[in-house]
Amino acid sequence: MRLDPFQLFTLRPLQYELEQHTRNAAQSLSLYLREETLIATPIESIIKSLADRLTLKPPQLEKTGITQSSYESKSGPRPQTSQLNWHSSTPTGNQLELPVTIHRFTIPFTGLSTLFECEPTGHFDTGIHLKDIPFAKVSTGHIQLEYSYKKSSPSEVEGMLYRDIDIIEKYLSLMFRDVNKHNELTMSNAAKFLSSRKENLISSREIVASLGFPITPRSDSSDAFEKPAKPKEIVLESPRKQIAEPFLRESDYNFILSRMFETAVVLERSPRAFSALNEEHLRFLFLVSLNGHFESVTGETFNFEGKTDILIRHQGKNIFIAECKFWDGPSTLTKAIDQVLGYTSWRDTNVAILLFVRNVGFSEVVSKVPQVAREHQCCDMEVTTTKETEFRFRFHRRGDPSRKILLSVLCFHTPNTVTDEKVEVLRLPNKKARKNH
C-alpha cells in the first residue's frame, strides 16, 4: 500500500499484474487441495469455493459514500512531479506566505486497491492526456483527492472533483473488461487442471488397488473408521436455566455430520465393494464410525434400534436421530421427513436424513432436495451450508410451531456397479446373526 499520492493508472501495465496473478493461482491450486478432498468433491464445488482465490476484483467507486474534510497547509499537498490537482501558493519577495486551505474528498471503493496503479489496455482510445490523469492517495477501501481553496471557488473545486472522478471511472471501465476476461480464463484453466489432476489420482489408485500388495497407510488419509485415543464427549446444554430440557450443542451436531461425510468418502471411493449393501448394512458402517468417537453417561451414545434409526439417547429421550434412505423419487424424502418429525419430542432437537442415490443422476437428485424440503408444511426456512451435497433446514413440529427442529439432508452417491460375479463384495452379518452372536 502506497502512503504518498501518486498519479493513478501509470505505474505499470495491467498485463504484468494479471500474469503475476496467474502464477499465484496456479501455485495455489497445486498446493491448496488435499488429494482426498479433490477425489471426494465435485470439481464445480471446488471451483466455486476457490473463486475468491482465483479471481481478481477490479475497483469500483461508491460515489454515494463521498465524504469531505479540510485542513491548512503552508505549501499545499503538491506531489514531487506534478502540480495538476495538488495546488499550492508561491511566495513573492519577502512577503509571508499565507496558508492554503486544502479540501480533501474521500471516496470509498470495493475491489483490489493495487489495481489503481495499473494501466489498462486501450487507454489511448479514451482521448485522455497523461497530464490530465489525477494524483490520489489510495489505501484499502478508499481513495483521496485534494484541492486548494486559495484561488478557487467551491463550485470550481466541485467541478475539478467530478472531472477527476469521470476520468477514473473511464479507466476503471477499461480495467473491468480486461480483468473479467482474465477471470474467465483463469476459472476455465483451473477447472481443466483440477479435472486432469483428479483423473490422474483416481487412475493411480486403481492401479495400486489392482496390484494386490498391502497399502501403506497415508498420513492424510480419511480416518472415518479409526477409533480415537479418547472418544469425544458430547456435552448437553439447557436452553434455559429454569427448563431442564437438554439439547445437543451445534458444534457436536456438526462434528457428527462431519464423521458421516468421512464415512461416505470411503463408500464413494470404493463403490464396487459396497454396492450390494442395503440400508441396514450401510447404516451399520456409519455406526461403526460414530461409536468410535463418542461416549455418554449411558456408556454407548449411538444405539441401533429398529430398521433405520441412528440415535443418541439421554435420560430415555432421543436428542439426535438420523434416518437412512435410498432415493426412489421425491416422495422418499417427504416420507423420511415425516418419519423423523414423528420421532422428535424435545425442543431444539437435531436430526438428519442420509439419502443414498444409486444409479439415477446424482446431480439431478441433489438439485431436487431443497425444493422438496421447502415444500413440506412444517419447514420454516433453509439454512446456509458450505457443502454442495448437504442441505439444512429449520422445521417445527406438527401443531406446535414453537418447538424447532434442525434437520440436515446429506446426499451420498453409492452407485450399484456390480456386474462381475467374481467381484468380492463386503458382507455384513444380518440382524438375526448379530443378535445371536
Q: What's the mean per-residue pLDDT of the chain?
A: 76
Show the cell assigned to 341. 418429525
Q: How far apart are CA 259 and CA 257, in angstroms?
A: 5
pLDDT of residue 226 exceeding 50: no
8 A C-beta contact, residue 286 and residue 260: yes
Confidence label for 217 from pLDDT (cuts 50, 70 and 90): low
Q: Is the pTM of the predicted complex or chain greater than 0.75?
A: no
Q: How far apart are CA 137 and CA 2, in angstroms?
A: 7
Q: How far apart are CA 395 and CA 267, in angstroms?
A: 29
Q: How far apart are CA 357 and CA 363, in angstroms?
A: 10
Q: What pLDDT does residue 213 have?
A: 60
pLDDT of residue 320 exceeding 80: no
Over residues 81-85, the mean pLDDT reads 37
Confidence label for 43 from pLDDT (cuts 50, 70 and 90): confident
Q: What pLDDT does residue 295 have?
A: 52
Q: What pLDDT does residue 3 have?
A: 61
Confidence label for 272 from pLDDT (cuts 50, 70 and 90): low
Q: What pLDDT does residue 314 have?
A: 56
Instruction: Dump pLDDT digits (tens) for 176-216.
Output: 999 999 999 999 999 998 888 888 887 887 776 666 566 56
- End-to-end alpha-carbon separation of the chain, Å? 70
